[in-house]
Amino acid sequence: MSHKRLLLGCSMASVALLLSCATTREDLGHGYKVVREKTRSHSSFERYAYYDVLRYRHRSLGEIGEVSISPSGQYALFEQDGKLILFNSTAGSLTDVTDGPFTVPKRIEWKEPDGFVLITAAEGIEPRRIPLPTQ
């Protein structure tokens, strides 16, 4: 009997710990969501470090910065570790589409019917055209 209580207590503590790690969620539609997670900080200045993780259904796509989801939901374009990453939900693939020095895009225009996405890094700079994989 005491073993069952101990197991139940451990299970409840595990659930509480998991719930405290994922603090907020933002539903982006099409099965995508951004989850703000926290972990103990190694800094003496702050107790916890917070970061955003992009999830597609049950799959974690990793820690992200800015994110844009295509109108159909087949693609996600996001910043991760100083790189621009394109996720294709149909194929389940992640592709680094960074070209040269990375700058967070000012504007992203999805042109899915035409098979590409336009990324504008800054005003006065020609938009960059990134082809979208068909599968």
Spatial CA neighbour of 35 closest among 51, 47, 20: 51
9-66 residue pLDDT tens: 334 444 444 444 555 789 999 999 999 988 887 776 777 888 899 999 999 999 999 9
The most distant pair of C-alpha atoms in the chain lies apart, rounded to whole Å, by 72
In a domain, 18, yes or no: no
Kindly state whether residue 103 falls inside one of the protein's structural domains: yes
Q: Which two tokens stand for residue 116?
A: 């590409």
Domain span at residue 70? 24-131
Q: Is the pLDDT of residue 74 over 90?
A: yes
Domain count, the chain: 1
Residue 4 maps to a domain: no
Report which of 91, 58, 62 is spatially closest to residue 79, judged by C-alpha positions. 62
**Count of CB atoms within 10 A of residue 75's CB?**
21
pLDDT per position as a tens digit, 77-89: 999 998 999 999 9
Query: What is the pTM for the complete model shown?
Result: 0.76
Q: What pLDDT, on a 0 to 100 scale, did the predictor assign at position 125?
A: 84
More confident position, 130 or 23: 130
Please provide the size of the chain in residues. 135
Instruction: Single out the residue of 111, 118, 77, 82 nearest to residue 94, CA to CA.
Output: 77
